[in-house]
Structure 1
Amino acid sequence: MKKIESNHFVNHLYIKKQMSRKKTIMIFHGWGSSVHNYKRPAENLSTLGFKIIVPEIIFHDSRSKFENHFLKEVTQKYFWKTIFRSIDEASLLFEELGILKEDTILMGISMGGFIANGIYANGQNFAGLVNINGSGSFLLSEKIFRQNDHRPRLSIAETKEINIYNPIDKIACPSPILLMHGEQDTIVSIEGQKDYFNFLTESDTVHDVIFNIYKNVNHSFSEEMMENLKQWLVKKF
């Protein structure tokens, strides 16, 4: 593992001696997690011949990390701020790393799935997208979050802000998409993935999307998910 530092970002690079596939997988981690928690899956995927990059996300690791991400007031105030900031700074991240978007597979788990999906929806030339236990339907997911927390409904201004970034109704590029979700997820409802999948399958541009649902799996990235992910990557790239 090698750490790459630039003017704005700290990124963790995983690469085997022989990079047999000319693609980079960029992995965005979940809320309250860390790049260090992704060492094992990153190294696992790198054995397939991909270059793996795990960028540090705002409010995590060395980037103004909170003491406790899981305080309700912290999560409610900064969850979407983190997602939106990460989407906004994606172009600069790619520019500083010197990586071509068309050679990059965006991947994210939980909050990282939201981020990867949002970046993917803003560009038309990424190699692919993997969203694991996240959502590509931002507005629906926030409505569910608020229902579960017994919070007030979204204001008009809040709705408009989310829809600026919402992948729903944005033209998706025709590259391969893999959606994976635990059916029993109590943290990020599977309904957001279902809604995005329905949007994609009704689109005229997307013809290569797979949605795998895992019974008896909560908000976790299971061994079966990893094996299915590796099979998909080998087949598509």
Structure 2
Amino acid sequence: MIIVDDKVINGIPVLELVDSKLEAEKLPLAFFFHGWNGSKERVLPQGYELAKRGFRVVLPEAKFHGARSMGKTETHLMEFWQIVNSSINEFGGILEHYQSEVGIKDNFVGISGLSMGGITTIGILDKFTEVKAAVCLMGCPEPGKFFDLMVTNIIAKQPIPQEIIDSQAKMVADFDLSLEPEKIASRYIHFWHGTADSTVPHEFTKEFFDKVKNKSYAQNVTLTLSKGKGHKVDQETTIDMADRMFEFYQVNDK
């Protein structure tokens, strides 16, 4: 049986999932980050699959979402990148809690997420060397380019002060893995994206993968493009994500 525990860690609401038979043991740790306009409860299916494979799983709540909401999420579209940045910065405090208070088997920390959570995943990978593996579902490893696309689309509907654009562009550049791809450092990363995704274009992911795939530091980076699939993570993709995370843990443990 999988136990789901509602917690607040360092002021951040999270759901923790763990197999009841393993609850008292030191386990490898996995995070899964939800998407825009979602919540930690919305990614319980992904959390369950990871927990079934022996991970202690943490599902954090992003700023302005779920238990942290302040009005409709749509009203915070201009703060999308601040939300991503907050999740990246908050990761350190949550991780420290599990390192010091719970313990992490084999020091394995894996991260995954979908859409906005996938972008967060790669941003965390860029900033935290403690992360051993990542699975990015319909996210973007070139956030600077996706930022430019979002700004173009928003400006078509409403003006944005240039100083806001400049400050947010600088913030995004700080966690843009594509600017320093050598930070991959041979870690295990898998990207999944549907080719019919009209929300987060798969071309950014494909472009990044093509740039790094022959580099020695990216020897463990893989990509799956699902032809005709849109901006949605189905059960098949969820199971594949969890299987890959378990495989990454097993390889890391050797």
TM-score, normalised to structure 2, is 0.82
Give the direction of change, closer, same or farther, for the CA distance of 1:164–1:7 in structure 2 (3 Å limit). Answer: closer
User: Where does 1:1-237 land on structure 2 (aligned, <5 Å)?
Assistant: 1-19=4-22, 22-63=27-68, 65-71=69-75, 74-75=76-77, 77-98=78-99, 102-149=107-154, 151=156, 156-170=166-180, 171-237=183-249
Moved more, 91-100 or 6-15: 91-100
Residues 61-96 of structure 1 deviation map (CA, whole Å, 9 limit, x = unaligned): 222x1322224xx21x11001011111222122113
**Identity between Structure 1 and Structure 2 (%):** 19
> After the TM superposition, which segments of 4 or more aligned residues of structure 1 sit over 6 Å from their partners?
none
Moved more, 167-176 or 49-58: 167-176
Cα distance in 2 for partners of 1:197, 1:227 equals 22
Pairwise CA RMSD: 2.4
Amino acid aligned to 2:33: F
Residues 165-200 of structure 1 deviation map (CA, whole Å, 9 limit, x = unaligned): 211122223221010111111111112212332343
Amino acid aligned to 1:185: D
**What SS is found at the alignment partner of 1:165?**
coil
Moved more, 17-26 or 223-232: 17-26
How many aligned positions are there? 233
Higher strand share: 2
Moved more, 54-63 or 27-36: 54-63
Shift of 1:220: 0.2
Higher helix share: 2
**What SS is found at the alignment partner of 1:126?**
coil
Cα distance in 2 for partners of 1:5, 1:56 equals 10
The gaps in structure 1 that reach 5 residues or longer are none
